[in-house]
Structure 1
Amino acid sequence: MAAEIHSLLQTLFLVSTSLSICFSIRNSIPNGFLKFLLVLPFFFLFLYIPLQFHTIHFQGPIGFFIGWLGSFKLLLFAFGRGPLCSAATSSSLPRFLAVGSLPIEIPDHKSPPHHSLLPPSAKLGFLILTILAINFKNHFHQNAVLLFYCLLIYFFLEFLIGTTAALAKKVLGVELLPYFNEPYLSDSLQDFWGRRWNLMTSRILRLAVYDPCRNLTVGIIGRRRASMVAVMATFGVSGLMHELIYFYMGRMAPTWEVSCFFVVHGVCVVAERAVKLGAGGRYRAPRAVRIGLTIGFVMGTGSWLFFPQCIRAKMDVRMLEEYAAMGAFLKDITVLFIDSISFLFK
């Protein structure tokens, strides 16, 4: 635990220093290749930082916040795009640091408030219940265990990112764009990936991968095919970045199952769009049926390709071991504090 805290303090220093330098050159260096060269060392530094950690509760969030989102934000910043270049963010160093290191985005214009069907307390309760269920996974069918992993990923991200965003909102005093939009109500794969699940990542990938790929190919193969190629490229990059996150957390050679998961979904999104265009809005199933098919497909393919890597890396076992270690650490700190107080008043 002491080593992890040391690594965390070192990370705070490196990330804040890197972002402060980027903030200082935001207007003095023109957007483009020169700024890209200046930002490139920080990009590789952000990719390296998660390797300093050894506990899954640091490897996962730091890998996602800094290794993936932070590095992509820097690349977009070099070309005058993305969250770090918005007027609301680039006008203030504290906001620049927060947006560059956390999974948050400040809108330039006031957006309508987002209301969730499930309150944060309910999501925290479901997270705890899911962790307890995984702890007794030997008493459940394997398919039920894979379902628990699906729920764990969602509720853990909701709690982690929701808590982070709430603190940032309180400190910065600004409204933030929502990160999730009730993904369990998705009635199509396009709806799930584009408008409900992991919205910041979707926005980042659109700017960093989809738009450039589409712009490069539209004059060669036409608008519709260029859009399809861009969708596949976006899902392919997302798959590679998920492989990197798994490597951060497991230190295991990639099996490429996670990449296959995103390639399968990319193909299905392209096919779904083609069917919708061909049908012209006709022959739509009831919304409840569409929601069931969408969520069933996501969870089914996730159980097949996404979550086996979690099981092989024993992420659930490591999580429970780290909770126990954290409890013992807090107990030792409490005992030391009480002993110190007792000594002072003797």
Structure 2
Amino acid sequence: MVALVPHKNSYCYISVLVPVGLKRLLFFLPMILLFLLLPLHLTLTLAGLTSFFVAWLSIFKLLLLAYRKGPLVPPPTSSPLSFPLFVTIVSLSIKISPSVESAATENGGGGGALKSLANYVAKCLLLVLLFPLYQWRLLVYEAIRLASSRLVGRQWAPLPPVLATFTVSILMHELIFYYIGRKEPTWVVMWFFLLHGVAVATEVIGKKAL
């Protein structure tokens, strides 16, 4: 698995040669499908980790990258990400500051770079424990809000993206549980997130009305 993921990411790394938007998304589509199928061909122990880091994090970061958004896109003033840094960010739940790579380069890969790497490994472990999956939420929310603002106006535009974000979260959680247990979904997770989605939408409506 370790050798397989960087090999696939090397394919995605050349995405800068493909125009942003639908063409780049189609370019990523084979890798996205492979990332979805990969956990099904592993043991249950490996499937759990792979489903989180590959089938979830990597896919949504690639979806964001297709439209030049998310942590894989360096700021305009920064140089493109190196391949090791690209693989690290796309595979782990971290977002590295643009100054980190330049500092590592200036240090010639010395103690400062090692210190930074150890620092980010520790942060990565903490972030995994906290389950901070915010990038894919931005992808769903922004895309749906852009469309809904044209249909229902700016005032009520947040409602459809809120419900859509929770719906995507429902599907992804059910998929992860299937990867880990290989059992048919009970949809308990669906009702849990659906209740939260309706509650958040109701809160938005209440604030707008008052």
Tell me whether the two structures share a fold, i.e. TM-score over 0.5. yes
Deviation (angstroms), 1:89: 8.8
Q: Is the 8 A contact 2:44 2:179 kept in 1?
A: no
User: Residue 29 of structure 1 aligns with which residue?
Assistant: 18
Kindly indicate whether the alpha-carbon contact (under 8 Å) linking 1:213 and 1:230 is maintained by their aligned counterparts in 2.
yes
Out of 196, 201, 204, the position equivalent to 2:136 is: 204
* Structure 1 counterpart of 2:70: 82
Equivalent in the alignment of 2:117: 169
Relative to the length of structure 2, the TM-score reads 0.80
Give the Cα separation in 1 of the matches to 2:89 and 2:57: 10
Corresponding residue for residue 242 of structure 1: 173
Distance 1:235 1:168, change over 3 A: farther
Q: Distance in 2 between matches of 1:271 and 1:225?
A: 12
Deviation at 1:47, TM superposition (A): 0.8
C-alpha contact 1:32 1:79 (8 A) present in aligned 2:
yes
Q: What TM-score comes out, normalization by structure 1 length?
A: 0.50
Q: Tell me, yes or no, if the aligned pair for 1:95 and 1:172 is still in contact at 8 Å.
A: no
- Contact 2:56–2:172 (Cα < 8 Å) also in 1: yes
Change (3 A) 1:168 1:240: farther
- 1:65 aligns to 2:13 (yes or no): no
Q: State the partner residue of 1:229.
A: 160
Are the counterparts in 2 of residues 89 and 99 from structure 1 also a CA contact under 8 Å?
no
For 1:179, which of 127, 134, 137 is the aligned residue?
Answer: 127
Say if 2:44 and 2:181, in contact at 8 Å, map to a contact too: no
- Cα deviation for residue 244 of structure 1 reads 0.3
After TM superposition, give the deviation of residue 100 of structure 1 in Å.
Answer: 1.1
- 1-side partners of 2:79 and 2:166: how far apart? 28
Counterpart of 1:98 (choices 66, 85, 88) is 88
1:16–1:267: structure 2 CA closer, same or farther, 3 Å change rule? same
Cα separation, 2, equivalents of 1:225 and 1:85: 30
Structure 1 residues without counterparts, runs of 5 or longer: 1-10, 111-166, 182-196, 280-346
**Do 1:90 and 1:96's aligned partners in 2 also have CA atoms closer than 8 Å?**
no
How far 1:210 moved relative to its partner? 0.4
Q: How many residues in Structure 1 have an aligned counterpart in Structure 2?
A: 193
Work out which of the two has the higher radius of gyration on C-alpha atoms and give 1 or 2. Answer: 1
Change in 2 beyond 3 A, CA 1:168/1:75? farther
